[in-house]
């Protein structure tokens, strides 16, 4: 009964829509203080850290879907995995854009120096680069074209991104 009820609830299109809006919550929370004109001592650091934290959180949420499906016996959870993964990529893009635009103002020389010298930037850069093919190939068309098996192998790269 419990499973039946929750399965029905999880299969509803409304659940997905509500979750989608909830996933936009962190973005709203980042923008809100600026809209209200609150004093933020270090706006760059605030955005860089908030977007970085949420990228990592969404990667962890995405990775926890498969074990949770088995643990809770709720196979329907699969419906949300791609959405969470793409939100991880969305926040990673914001995180990276913050760095490129607000921190380095697209100064290629400065960026190259950073990638070379500061190891966490090197690692972040690699992790982000790995997520790009995953986001591109997340559509049904790409999964079909690659074939299920090859797609799964490619998407295991998320473990490397999250691990870093
Ligand atoms: C999958 C990719 C990435 C993840 C999961 C990630 C995650 C994080 C996290 C969790 C933080 C710390 C936030 C905090 O302290 O609250 C952070 C900080 C930061 N990240 Fe990333 N990051 C990624 C990619 C990148 C990339 C590509 C760049 C730039 C090339 C970058 C640049 C930075 C910078 C500059 C900071 C601030 C460090 C500081 O203020 O000390 N990250 N990131």
110 vs 19, 88, 103, 136, CA distance in Å? 39, 26, 10, 28
Burial bucket for residue 54 (CB in 10 Å: 0-12, 13-18, 19+): buried
Nearest to 127 by CA among 98, 87, 83, 89: 89
Q: Which parts of the chain sit beneath pLDDT 50?
A: 1
Predicted local confidence at residue 34, as pLDDT: 96
- Using CA atoms of 129, 132, 124, 54 in order, give the dihedral in degrees to the nearest 10: 180
- CA 11 – ligand 1 centroid, Å: 35
Q: Which atom of ligand 1 is nearest to the CA of 115?
A: 30
* pLDDT (0 to 100) of residue 120: 87
Residue 164 has what pLDDT?
62
CA 122 / ligand 1 centre spacing (Å) = 10
């Amino acid at each position: 009964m419990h499973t039946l009820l929750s399965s029905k609830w999880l299969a509803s299109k409304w659940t997905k829509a509500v979750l989608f809006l909830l996933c936009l919550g962190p973005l709203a929370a980042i923008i809100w203080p600026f809209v209200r004109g609150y004093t933020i001592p270090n706006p760059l650091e605030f955005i860089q850290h908030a977007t970085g934290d949420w990228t990592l959180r969404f990667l962890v949420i995405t990775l926890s879907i498969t074990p949770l499906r088995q643990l809770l016996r709720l196979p329907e959870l699969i419906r949300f995995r791609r959405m969470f993964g793409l939100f991880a990529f969305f926040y990673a893009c914001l995180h990276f854009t913050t760095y490129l635009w607000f921190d380095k103002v697209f100064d290629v020389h400065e960026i190259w120096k950073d990638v070379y010298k500061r190891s966490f930037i090197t690692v972040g850069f690699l992790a982000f680069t790995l997520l790009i093919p995953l986001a591109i190939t997340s559509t049904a068309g790409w999964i079909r074209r690659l074939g299920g098996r090859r797609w799964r192998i490619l998407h295991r790269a998320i473990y490397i991104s999250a691990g870093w």
